[in-house]
Amino acid sequence: MTNDEWFLNSAKELADRLLPAFDTPTGIPKARIELKGGRTSDNDWLRGSSVLAEFGSLQLEFSSLSVLSHKPIYREKVEKIYDAIKKINPDLLVTCFFSDPLSGNKFISMGGLGDSYYEYLLKYWLLFSKKDEKMGKWYLDTANEIIKQLGHRSSDGMWWLAKKRDGHTIYEMEHLACFAGGMFALGSLHIEDEETRRLHLEVGEGIGRLCWEMYNISPIGLSPEVAYLRIINDKFNLSIADSPHWLMRPEAIETWFILWRVTKKPIYREYGWAMFKNIEKYSRTNFGYSGIRDVRRLPLQLDDVQQSYFLAETLKYLYLLFSSDKNIPLDEFVFNTEAHPLKIFKSLMN
């Protein structure tokens, strides 16, 4: 975006230091790497598994770097990950704890551990101007499967995407999963079949409404990390779960921003403005902004941490929600999972 070679050279240096992590039998990278010496390791708590959201959200950055640096190796490494997923996993919905061979414990989630993998199926297709038809089909088939297996619609039009462990439904909604509303809305712009396009936009808007209700159940109008969900007479009843902290997360405002760009319905700006006012009222301090330990209890106890993504994502999406569509237009850029805009390339080769 600056055309300053320093940024490109720095990105190449970092990527080169990360490459040894990909030297595994499947090509799925190790979770950790020592940047100075290249020593790699797994996370101990994973017991040999890899986290889907980690190795599934490298494709935009590494492929963009290949195009800009004219070095194919970065893109080759991340595309090998997709090859491994297709080979090892027989289903469109992939367990968050990925191993070769797959373990018996299958945990499917659009929230933490799984979220950005699904986000990148769509965005990787968009990054190269939808030239890769197989990637587009993979996203569309997966999105339809998400609706079929995880989707629940309330009688008043909200949508919820369940989590499942070994086939059993977990009745809770993570704030992290709110990104999916934006994913479905953005994806709907690129679906040719009219009925499917309408369904995906409906799901996106329904998730956007559900996430708004997560803010409404809090006395201070800021969402807890997780909400319990009960279905009563085909309506969703939300309550604050055992994770009542507000961590400054961007996923809801990300979805409302995309929904505003796609539908131009004023309600999404109203949601964003209410969120912003509550951030100013309850989170702002003399020296920055802070998370909140428990959104249910007054007086509030701040956690004394300003998350990096609060600047990179939450405030950025709030700003873009009220800016012109010409500011980072969605037909020219895709946002990576941390809201950094990447320029769309005209072809697969570029």
Extract the tokens encoding 261: 């760009």
Measured in degrees and rounded to the nearest 5, phi and psi for residue 172 equal: -150, 160
Measured in degrees and rounded to the nearest 5, phi and psi for residue 132 equal: -90, 95
Extract the tokens encoding 41: 């390791």
Q: CA-to-CA distance for 271 and 216, rounded, in angstroms?
A: 10
> Residue 272, Cβ neighbours under 10 Å: how many?
21
The residue from 119, 172, 225, 254 that is catalytic is 225
C-alpha distances (whole Å) from 178 to each of 175, 192, 215, 250, 274 are: 5, 25, 12, 9, 17
Pairing of strands 159-161, 151-153: antiparallel
Measured in degrees and rounded to the nearest 5, phi and psi for residue 146 equal: -60, -45
Q: Taking Cα atoms as reference points, which of 49, 44, 175 lies closest to residue 109?
A: 175
H helix intervals, 19-72 = 52-55, 59-69
Extract the tokens encoding 119: 């986000």
Q: Are 343 and 333 in contact (CB under 8 A)?
A: yes
Query: Would the CA dihedral through 274, 260, 257, 329 be positive or negative?
Result: negative
225 is catalytic: yes
Query: Would the CA dihedral through 72, 97, 248, 217 be positive or negative?
Result: positive
Q: Are 229 and 173 in contact (CB under 8 A)?
A: yes
Q: CA-to-CA distance for 8 and 235, rounded, in angstroms?
A: 50
> Mind telling me the catalytic residues?
225
